[in-house]
Amino acid sequence: MAGLDKRVYSYEEALAGLASGMTVLAGGFGLCGIPENLIAHIRTLGVRDLTVVSNNCGVDGFGLGVLLEDRQIRKMIASYVGENALFEQQLLSGELEVELTPQGTLAEKLRAGGAGIPAFFTATGVGTPVADGKEVREFDGRHYLMERAITGDFAIVKGWKADHFGNVVYRHTAQNFNPLVASAGRITVVEVEEIVAPGELDPAHIHTPAIFVDRVIQGRFEKRIEKRTLKA
């Protein structure tokens, strides 16, 4: 049973093998359910030229935004810019390569990658710049784009609870992109609020089975919310 224990006790162990030029998939939506400590350690490692896939790129000074500050991201694949002024600045200046992808399409790209499906067809984006350079086919009188699945060298994920084997439960809206990301990484690392003994998690409530997880670490987390902007 000891060989099935996926717990690690330092962020150095958790991210061992991460190198410049790799593709990193990051769970979370806005500031909800982001693997903030793993992101912070990527900054500490100083790896560069990363391709990062996530719903968005955090905010200035927090989440994936800290990797933008140190110019560690070469390409960002995301659904939207959000409230990150630095993301917008680097996008407009051409310093950062950005592939904006419809949110549902991004989710399905990750799900397909985790399921071993290389590509799929979707009607989303037909007739828009999203379709540029992509194969279009007609099914039952409607046009669809072919979209390629996404996988990554590392997947970094935020969970609520996990057991020693790497079975993971997410809490409420942290189920956003985290389960999809967890399945699509060659090496999947999950940081959680609590690690429990085998048998303590209800098998019917496990969101990510241990087969997808390589390393689990318990961390401490800062509860943040994004600012709401109102116009007078």
What does the CA dihedral 221, 23, 125, 65 come to, rounded to 10 degrees? 40
Which pTM was predicted?
Answer: 0.92
What does the CA dihedral 208, 52, 177, 183 come to, rounded to 10 degrees? -20
Confidence grade of residue 82 (pLDDT, cut at 50, 70, 90): confident
Considering the four listed CATH numbers 1.10.1130.10, 3.20.20.10, 3.40.1080.10, 3.40.50.1400, the one that applies to the domain covering 21-100+151-218 is 3.40.1080.10
Question: What does the block give as tokens for 24?
Answer: 């990193």
| Domain spans of the chain, in order of start | 21-100+151-218
Confidence grade of residue 137 (pLDDT, cut at 50, 70, 90): very high
Confidence grade of residue 223 (pLDDT, cut at 50, 70, 90): low
* pLDDT computed for residue 81 by the predictor: 85
In DSSP terms, 7 is beta-bridged to 216
